[in-house]
Amino acid sequence: MSKIQIICTQPGIRRNGMQHPAEAIYDKARWSEKELEAFRADRAFVVLEVGSDGVKATDEAIDAEVQRLVGLKIVDLQAGFDKAVKDAAAELADDIGVKLRTALERVQELEGQLSTANSKADNTIDDLGKKLAAAGDTIADLQKQLEAATAGQSNEAGKPAAKK
């Protein structure tokens, strides 16, 4: 009669209605095929057939079990890696979003300051233009007065003085 050896990589856990030691050998009839498949699907268990002369594990069976366990580990590692990358990308995206919002707020603040400065500059230019125009008018008036004063002096200088 053949037997089944069940190796539990986490001794003490419960599966299929019982707590399992690190290793135990059972009559093959003890477990249904569905229960054996459940053990095989669980990463914490290794199921081996045992004959009357001991474990019947061939190199191929051992290689297959090792490949199965390595495959499960690869899946776990890839899932962990994918999650770590996703979490890091999300965190980085959040950080970039915060920095972008801060930069946009600063740009808006600077745009407001620039607009205020442009308005003040426009007002100053307008005021200076008005002052320049007024100064030009004053210069024109002064030139007229100078011409009038100069013209009056040359008329008086060029004419003989009136006799009394």
Q: CA dist 150 to 129, 142, 145, 147, 162, Å?
A: 31, 12, 8, 5, 20
pLDDT in tens, the chain (164 residues): 578 889 898 899 999 889 999 989 998 889 999 999 999 888 889 888 887 666 655 667 667 777 878 888 899 999 999 999 999 999 999 999 999 999 999 999 999 999 999 999 999 999 999 999 999 999 999 999 999 888 877 655 555 555 55
- Rg of the chain, C-alpha, whole Å: 51
- Are 31 and 5 in contact, with CB atoms under 8 Å apart? no
Strand partners, 14: 19
pTM of structure:
0.45
Please give the Cα distance from 62 to 30 (Å, whole number): 23
Q: CA dist 18 to 54, 111, 131, 146, Å?
A: 24, 72, 102, 123
Nearest to 64 by CA among 82, 84, 47: 47
Strand partners, 50: 3, 55
Strand partners, 47: 6
Give the pLDDT of residue 69.
80
Give the pLDDT of residue 97.
95
Strands 3-8 and 45-51: antiparallel
- Are 45 and 8 in contact, with CB atoms under 8 Å apart? yes
